[in-house]
Amino acid sequence: MRYLPLLVFIIFTNILFGQQQQYKIGAIGFYNFENLFDTLDTENVRDSEFTPNGRKAYGGKIYKEKLSHLSDVVSQMGKEMTPDGLAILGMCEIENRSVLEDFVKMPVLADRNYQIVHYDSPDKRGIDVGLIYNPKYFTLKSSKPLLVDIQQKNGDTIFTRDILFVSGEFDGEPLHLFVNHWPSRSGGEKRSAWRRNAAAQRVRVVIDSLLADNAEAKIVVMGDLNDDPDNDSCKKYINAQRKREKIKKDQLYNPMWDYYVKGIGTTAWRDAWSLFDQIQVSYALANKDDDGYFFYKANIFNKKFLRQRSGAYKGYPYRTFVGDTYLGGYSDHFPVLIYLVKPNVN
């Protein structure tokens, strides 16, 4: 792991701990890629609009530009604190593994040697979640998709994205990660809330199992949750709370909540901001560890170049399409990230 300059560490530790000490640092992020499809018409997947002959005329030129834009964003995330940028990135709205293989080969990312974790999900649109990691920082031990079994009253199954559960070692320390893309608000926020609550409960069952084995387990929950921090799915079912100093050992800390209270979001609709893109951490990460990694701070990566510059949607995330009209932007969501730090005892 690389280190920040000593002066930065002195400022950091004086503010938080009243002492001078060097800290290792690593960055973990999440980004909704807004429909990163390949250009092929895949059987049994509703992806025809994202093909050259589809209504979006989604051909090789657009696909390559989309990859270039997304990789440019990811290459910058975390660089203000660590020269290597993101150690781990979770993402959603990707069609398959092949688009991730193309993504990690982009020139601005290729030298990081990002490795891929991905499973095809049952979502009818064919969009999945995934994760990439820099092997300098993270060693993969295991991974699996968690099925979100949602059934309507008539017995029909609602097919949605799996939750990606990844375990490994972050610079030698055990770390568990969940990458989520919970069901949308289609049909209205209240009428659809039960579906997101079900996804949250699916994650919570595994979290409880991890904590039963080790009360000090270090856990990161990230994703496009299609809910805000104060919705039941987050505050009740996942049990992620706002006050870092007040959380209990079975609760998570949600650092995105303070952004939400200030009216700062990651996606906008009808002149209202939502903070659907969140990263939450377990008690063991939220509290200072004298020997291991712990949470330092969270950021919304909403740089000026990621915002719509003019028109009715000025200030909104600069997206790729509006309807079937190609804008040439990045995504309809801003990415988010957290920094983990560890005392350097060497």
DSSP character string of 108-136: TTGGG--EEEE-----TT--EEEEEE-TT
Q: What is the pTM of this model?
A: 0.94
Number of Cβ within 10 Å of residue 159's Cβ equals 14
According to DSSP, residue 49 is labeled G
Say how many CA atoms lie within 13 Å of 70 toward its Cβ. 31
Residues with Cβ within 8 Å of 302's Cβ and at least 6 positions away in sequence, in order, are 264, 266, 317, 334
Q: Which of 266, 267, 258 is nearest to 300 (CA)?
A: 266
Interatomic CA distance for residues 57 and 50, integer angstroms? 7
Q: Which residues contact 299 (CB under 8 A, 6 or more apart)?
A: 336, 337, 338, 339
**What pLDDT does residue 14 have?**
40
Strand pairing partners for 27? 86, 339
pLDDT the model gives residue 18:
53
pLDDT at 243: 96
Which domains, ranges and CATH numbers included, belong to the chain? 27-343 (3.60.10.10)
Closest CA to 181 of 12, 30, 2, 326: 30
Residues of the chain predicted below pLDDT 50: 2-15
**What are the C-alpha distances in Å from 70 to residues 5, 122, 279, 336?**
29, 25, 19, 14
Question: For the segment 235-282, what is each residue's pLDDT rounded down to a tens digit?
Answer: 999 999 999 999 999 999 999 999 999 999 999 988 899 999 999 999
Tokens of 322: 């509006």
The CA-based angle 275-281-284, given to 5 degrees, is: 160
- pLDDT attached to residue 153: 73
| Site of tokens 């952004």 | 259
Residue 279, Cβ neighbours under 10 Å: how many? Answer: 23
Report d(CA 125, CA 127) in Å as an integer.
6
- Which residues make Cβ contacts (< 8 Å) with residue 170, sequence separation at least 6? 26, 87, 88, 137, 138, 218, 293, 340
Q: What share of the chain is helix, strand, coil (3-state, %, to 5)?
A: 25, 30, 45
What lies within 8 Å, CB to CB, of 178 at 6+ separation is 146, 163, 164, 165, 166, 203, 206, 207, 219, 220, 221, 222, 223
The pLDDT assigned to 290 comes to 80
What pLDDT score does 125 carry?
87
pLDDT digits (tens, 9 = 90+) for 93-132: 999 999 999 999 999 999 999 999 999 999 888 899 999 9
